[in-house]
Amino acid sequence: MLIVFFFAFVILVNTSKCPDNTIHADFNPGICYYFGGQNMTFKKAEKDCQNNYANLIRTRNMIDDMVLSQQAFLYFKSNFTSDFWFGLRKMDNNIWAWTDGTELEYPNWGYDEPNPDMNCGAMAFAGGKWSAQNCSTEKPFVCSFKAENLNIGN
């Protein structure tokens, strides 16, 4: 039974692919990451993701945060910044939620965060901790989207 599950997993992972200039999410098969290297405001970064059928990235747990922050550091190290935009923002009711509409289930705020005067979420390269930032600050950003399914046998 375990062998069948393993081969089903391998087939699932190998039957989807990410377009050029994107990478597979290490711990989330079927999801691709796009690292937007140009610094943008939060709103422009969100729009850039949406224009490419993606959303600013949503993380599920501390492992996602650690892996993502390490990969982002490698992509953005020439941007001379310590963090990047991801898909977390404060809504009108002062509740933090993901830009794709999903409720925040797991917080990973840094020390003394979130700043009550700031409305957009940034993730630090060091440790993947979150901070609330001024949305008009320009930063690099990460989008995520579902991988394309390959048409096997054709």
Q: Encoding tokens for residue 4?
A: 């069948």
Q: What are the CA-CA distances from residue 60 to residues 1, 2, 65, 94 (Å)? A: 28, 26, 8, 21
Closest CA to 131 of 149, 153, 114, 108: 114
The residue with greater pLDDT, 20 or 10, is 20
CATH of segment(s) 41-147: 3.10.100.10
Closest CA to 55 of 46, 43, 64: 46
Amino acid at 74: L
- Per residue in 98-150, pLDDT (tens digit) is 998 888 989 999 999 999 999 999 999 989 999 999 999 999 999 998 887 54
List the domain boundaries for the chain: 41-147
Q: If you ran DSSP here, which 8-state letter would residue 123 be given? A: E
Q: Encoding tokens for residue 57?
A: 């990235």
Q: Lowest-pLDDT range, 20-24, 84-88, 110-114?
A: 20-24
What is residue 33's predicted lDDT score, i.e. its pLDDT? 87
Residues 6+ apart with CB under 8 A from 27: 63, 64, 67
Q: What's the whole-number average pLDDT of the chain? A: 83
Helix ranges restricted to H, the chain: 2-14, 42-51, 62-76
What is residue 10's predicted lDDT score, i.e. its pLDDT? 42
Q: Are 52 and 149 in contact (CB under 8 A)?
A: no
Closest CA to 76 of 131, 122, 36: 36
